[in-house]
Structure 1
Amino acid sequence: MDKGAKIRCNSQMLPKLKGKRVCLLGRVTNIDKSQRACYIVSSDEKSVKVIMKDQILNYPKNICEIYGMVDVNCNIICDSFTCLDDVEDGHEAFDFSTYDQAINLAHNFPNFYVTK
């Protein structure tokens, strides 16, 4: 089943993306007691609740890219996720600030960054 294009976003963009499929990149900071949700700090340094379809058996580490749909409360209902290694020679390798700038540019100039 093709779920279509996913819009890359940060937490501040979620209210405008309700009902749409998104891709959110961030760091996992906490797992809910139910083990069916986790919290991710996105590239704009705000926390987003991610609701999983199944119980979280392995704690997602480092940076995770979450794919799912934004619900009415601006949570993400996760379809799938990918975890990335973020440590290179003992230092953080990923620059969230630059990534956030790129996301903002893509949203400010949608004709140049087509997601469909």
Structure 2
Amino acid sequence: MMTEDFVKPRINGSMLSNYRGRQVCVLGIGKQVDSNGTSFILSTSDNQDIKVIMQEPLNEYVSGLTEVHGQVDPRNQIICQNYINFPKEVSDSFDMNLYNEAIGLMSRLSEHYITGVPEQ
């Protein structure tokens, strides 16, 4: 049996509104960290800019390939629970278009792509 707590589907920017109030995983390019480090912009695999709200100020500059795990709020922003900022060499060789195609396939064929961990 799966519970919502463990399900963090990978989504792109155009899918945000379908996941309001839910946990998600979004991959994109981090940019435009605000001056006090409480938010940044993530340019998603489908070229949409979304605001990521930090629960604590960042202690590093977020740029390049970044994966964000968090909850989608009513304004289609993500309240970040954690993030991974990948090294430049990973960012430089990552195929964002191919990743976006994979997101589309996972969404259309969700019964074949399980996101989450079975409850023990």
TM-score by length of 2: 0.87
* Correspondence for 1:14: 16
Paired residues of 1:35 and 1:55 also in contact (CA < 8 A): yes
* Correspondence for 1:30: 32
What RMSD over aligned residues (CA atoms) do the two structures have, in Å?
1.5
Rate the CA distance shift 1:86–1:5 in 2: closer, same or farther, 3 A. Answer: farther
* Correspondence for 2:7: 5
Paired residues of 1:18 and 1:74 also in contact (CA < 8 A): yes
In structure 1, list runs of 5 or more residues that go unmatched. Answer: none
In structure 2, list runs of 5 or more residues that go unmatched. Answer: none
Higher normalized helix content (fraction of residues) = 2
TM-score by length of 1: 0.90
CA distance in 2, matches of 1:95, 1:86: 13
Higher normalized strand content (fraction of residues) = 1
CA distance in 2, matches of 1:74, 1:12: 10
CA distance in 2, matches of 1:51, 1:65: 14
CA distance in 1, matches of 2:50, 2:93: 22
Deviations 1:6-27, CA, capped at 9 Å, x for gaps: 1100000000010110000011
CA distance in 2, matches of 1:72, 1:61: 25
Paired residues of 1:6 and 1:23 also in contact (CA < 8 A): yes
Matched residue type, 1:105: L
Matched residue type, 1:8: R
* Correspondence for 2:93: 93
Matched residue type, 1:99: Y
SS at match of 2:56: coil
